[in-house]
């Protein structure tokens, strides 16, 4: 069974599987506290280990949704483990949240620069740890959705460019216009969610041009399509 989305799980949706959180820390007391804290939240299934090498082995067979890790550990520290994860396609997108007592702005900037999904300061409050992890998971979920949308945007741009070429050649105009309207409608609704407001505006204008035009006069559609393609190029 495929896992449901992060939001579905966090909101207690119909998915039968919990969000898998892997905790890595060489201190057994910290591991115990984190297990108890997160274990009280039914959205989470928690596993813990004492080293980065153990964590990498668990990742290979358990596929956690999020890794919560200490920064300073023997043999392989948290940043080194993150670098190892990023080297492989299957683990590159797992969000990693560091837990550290080093919370000076320079240290936080460094960890975020490495690609961390977030930082939780030590000492942490066991009663609010679950809420902190939930926030980081939601943020990671939105980031994953954004990257997926950007990949879709590239595909849509290629499809629209082909439609533009076919309009210029007056090939299958009616079906091409239907395809353009479908893509424009989807972009008009989704692009603004991710802050791409110019693309959203141009897509809505293109949809209106298709609705208001006809198969014999597509000049307005071509102009609107050119505007949308330019906005997509400049994103």
DSSP 195-234: T-HHHHHHHHHHHHHHHH-BTTB-HHHHHHHHHHHHHHHT
> How far is 93 from 178, CA to CA, in rounded Å?
36
The 8 Å CB, 24+ separation contacts for 147-150 are 147/93, 149/190, 149/191, 149/194
Question: From its phi and psi, is residue 158 left (phi > 0), alpha (psi between -120 and 50) or beta?
Answer: alpha
Least confident of 96-100, 106-110, 197-201, 225-229: 106-110
Length, in residues, of the chain: 235
- pLDDT tens readout for residues 103-145: 778 888 889 889 898 999 999 999 999 999 999 888 888 777 7
What does the pLDDT average to over 23-35? 97
The larger pLDDT score, comparing residue 73 to residue 16, is at 73
Q: Which two tokens stand for residue 124?
A: 């942490």
Burial of 131 (0-12, 13-18, 19+ CB in 10 A): exposed
Question: From its phi and psi, is residue 115 left (phi > 0), alpha (psi between -120 and 50) or beta?
Answer: left
Q: Are 180 and 163 in contact (CB under 8 A)?
A: yes
Q: Where are the domains of the chain?
A: 6-127, 149-233
The larger pLDDT score, comparing residue 82 to residue 18, is at 82
What would you measure as the largest C-alpha separation in the chain, in angstroms?
A: 74
Q: What are phi and psi of 48, to 5 degrees?
A: -135, 155
What is the pLDDT confidence band of residue 4, given thresholds at 50, 70 and 90?
low
- Kindly report the pTM of this predicted structure: 0.64
> How far is 150 from 106, CA to CA, in rounded Å?
30
Q: Which two tokens stand for residue 175?
A: 């079906």
Neighbouring C-beta atoms of residue 16, cutoff 10 Å: 8
Looking at the DSSP assignment, which residues form a beta bridge with residue 48?
A: 23
> How far is 100 from 84, CA to CA, in rounded Å?
20
Query: What CATH superfamily classification does 6-127 receive?
Result: Response regulator (3.40.50.2300)
**N-to-C CA span, the chain:** 37
Helix (H, G, I), strand (E, B) or coil at 18: coil
Chain mean pLDDT for the chain: 88
pLDDT at 210: 92
pLDDT at 1: 34
Q: What are phi and psi of 67, to 5 degrees?
A: -115, 125
């Amino acid at each position: 069974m495929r896992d449901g989305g992060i939001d579905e799980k966090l909101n207690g949706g119909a998915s039968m599987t919990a969000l898998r959180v892997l905790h890595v820390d060489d201190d057994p007391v910290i591991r115990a506290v984190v297990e108890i804290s997160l274990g009280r939240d039914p959205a989470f299934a928690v596993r813990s280990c004492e080293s980065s090498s153990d964590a990498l082995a668990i990742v290979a067979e358990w596929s956690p949704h999020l890794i919560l890790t200490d920064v300073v550990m023997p043999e392989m520290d948290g940043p080194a483990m993150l670098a190892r994860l990023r080297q492989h396609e299957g683990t590159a997108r797992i969000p990693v949240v560091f837990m550290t007592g080093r919370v000076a702005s320079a240290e936080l900037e460094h960890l975020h620069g490495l690609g961390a999904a977030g930082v939780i300061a030590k000492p942490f409050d066991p009663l609010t740890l679950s809420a902190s992890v939930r926030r980081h998971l939601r943020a990671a979920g939105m980031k994953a959705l954004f990257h997926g949308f950007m990949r879709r945007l590239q595909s849509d741009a290629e499809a629209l460019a082909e439609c533009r070429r076919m309009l210029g050649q007056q090939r299958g105009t009616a079906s091409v216009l239907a395809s353009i309207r479908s893509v424009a409608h989807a972009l008009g609704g989704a692009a603004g969610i991710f802050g791409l407001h110019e693309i959203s505006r141009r897509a809505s204008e293109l949809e209106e041009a298709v609705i208001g035009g006809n198969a014999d006069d597509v000049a307005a559609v071509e102009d609107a399509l050119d505007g949308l393609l330019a906005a997509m190029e400049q994103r």
